[in-house]
Chain A
Amino acid sequence: QVQLQESGPGLVKPSETLALTCTVSGDSISRYYWSWIRQSPEKGLEWIGYIHYSGDTKYDPSLQSRVTISIDTSNNHFSLRLDSVTAADAAVYYCARRGNWGLASYFDFWSQGTLVTVSS
């Protein structure tokens, strides 16, 4: 069974960098695309971006100037870096696997979610 587990600080100061890592077990990270998604009461569910081991990466344009997603195939994990955070970045952050069936893609495995608070 595929499992995803995030790790990283739950509290980030304004203007600093949010950094989370998602460790994948039960599957090779080289087989799929992997995403970060966040959820807040104000904005609902928001896709942040995805990465493939080949280096193919896509970000939400509204976050593109501040976000970096990277992948470490040797340790089977991928990471999120979000620079210059503000209160608007406070949310529950999820990592997820993007599965596919033909041309249809979907998020079929999710982490439990980690709450990130932005406060000094």
Chain B
Amino acid sequence: DIQMTQSPSSLSASVGDRVTITCRASQTIDIYLNWYQQKPGKAPKLLIYGASSLQGGVPSRFSGSRSGRDFTLTISSLQPEDFATYYCQQAYSTPLTFGGGTEVEIK
């Protein structure tokens, strides 16, 4: 199975901050990496697919990038509604696997 390691597991930030979350795959997954946002009691919501493609309706302050097996989700200017938990997910091969999550908290 492909292991997805997210870091950090949590972070504290203020409104307006630039936030970066990293996900490393245990083996090559090409560009097949997705990012989701989850708020308490809700289902995950797709933000980014194919490492860097923004899902329709998602604000442009969210962006994704790839460097080899390392993937990054960036929020350019954190907004109050962005406080949530973020997950990466590899779509390269089955079993499909998720990272452990990064909780973004209010500083």
Query: Which residues in A have some Cβ–Cβ distance to B below 8 Å?
Result: 35, 44-47, 58, 60-62, 94, 96, 101-108, 110-113
Contact = CB atoms under 8 A, between A and B. Distances in A.
A101 to B, nearest CB: 7
Interface of B: 31-32, 34, 36, 42-46, 49-50, 53, 55, 87, 89, 91, 94-98, 100-101
Contacts of B45: 110
A102 B53 CA distance: 12
A110 B91 CA distance: 16
Contacts of A44: 87, 98, 100-101
Contacts of B100: 44
B95 A47 contact: yes
Given A47-B96, A60-B95, A61-B95, A112 B43 contact: yes
B50 A107 contact: no
By secondary structure, the B interface counts as loop
B49 A113 contact: no
Contacts of A111: 43
A104 B98 contact: no
Given A47-B95, A47-B97, A104 B44 contact: no
A101 B43 contact: no
Given A44-B100, A47-B98, A104 B91 contact: yes
B101 to A, nearest CB: 6
A47 B43 CA distance: 14
Contact of B43 (A46, A60, A105, A110): A110
B101 A101 contact: no
Contact of A106 (B49, B95, B97, B101): B49
A107 B89 contact: yes
Contact of A94 (B32, B43, B53, B91): B43
25 contacts: A44-B98, A44-B100, A45-B87, A45-B98, A47-B97, A47-B98, A60-B95, A61-B95, A94-B43, A94-B44, A96-B43, A101-B50, A102-B50, A104-B32, A104-B53, A105-B49, A105-B91, A106-B49, A106-B55, A106-B91, A108-B46, A108-B55, A110-B45, A111-B43, A112-B43
